[in-house]
Structure 1
Amino acid sequence: MDETVKINVATEFSKFPSGRDDADGPFNGTKFRKELLLPRLQEAMQKKVKLVVELDGVLSFGSSFLEESFGGLIRRESVLREDLEATLVVLPGWEGNKRYSDAIARYIKDARKESH
């Protein structure tokens, strides 16, 4: 039996996630990445199972939220793209959300690790 680690964005975070950081509001991409996405990703990677992120129930996503959340895993958290792509499964829920799952894949593909 395949175990998975899950996140339902609408029920565990917000139906209205938006923005990149705290200046953009309380349900921003940085908060989502640090408080939910990264810890669950690390859990899934440790257990060697999939992380399933469910988008169903969210009314809309801004591009800055999605890029900061998912691209930020590579840019800011030093997650390897190969590990992320091997672990992450994004379920759009309904056909209208497919554009968001496609955007997430694009942000992951285009992300570059920040140098300090």
Structure 2
Amino acid sequence: MDDYIMIKLSDFSKFPSGRDDNDGDFNGEKYRDSILAPQIKAAKASGKKIEISIEGVLNFGSSFLEEAFGGLVRKGIASKDDLKNLLRITPNNDKYARYRSVILKHIEEAKADT
């Protein structure tokens, strides 16, 4: 597990929702910019990967997931290929499989801002 930087989404919020600050304190933009982006930069520099645990989160807002994860591609923080190679979303069990699939879908469907 030393090859991974661990991020527990539940440390950010058990109820993350919204796209930006207009939608509340635990929004996707804040999570992306303050947590994901710096850790992606650190992972690239160190050669490590990132494990994002979604366990313990009780509910996700769909705009949160799109902004946080799709926004990584849209804002040019990481390419789709980078994210496929860097990120591991856990746990991959029945309870969280839906959210994991939605995160991966948002990454795959994102288009970089031009």
Q: CA RMSD in A?
A: 1.4
Q: Percent identity?
A: 43
Number of corresponding residues: 114
**Cα shift at 1:46:** 1.3
Could you list the structure 1 runs, at least 4 aligned residues long, displaced by more than 6 angstroms after superposition. Answer: none
Q: Is the 8 A contact 1:55 1:93 kept in 2?
A: no
Moved more, 23-32 or 41-50: 41-50
Please, what TM-score do these two structures have when normalized by structure 2? 0.93
Alignment gaps of 5+ in structure 1? none
The residue number in structure 2 matching 1:52 is: 51
5 Å-filtered alignment, 1:1-116, equals 2-11=2-11, 13-92=12-91, 94-115=93-114
Please, what TM-score do these two structures have when normalized by structure 1? 0.92
Alignment gaps of 5+ in structure 2? none
Q: Is the 8 A contact 2:7 2:53 kept in 1?
A: yes
Matched to 1:76, the amino acid is K
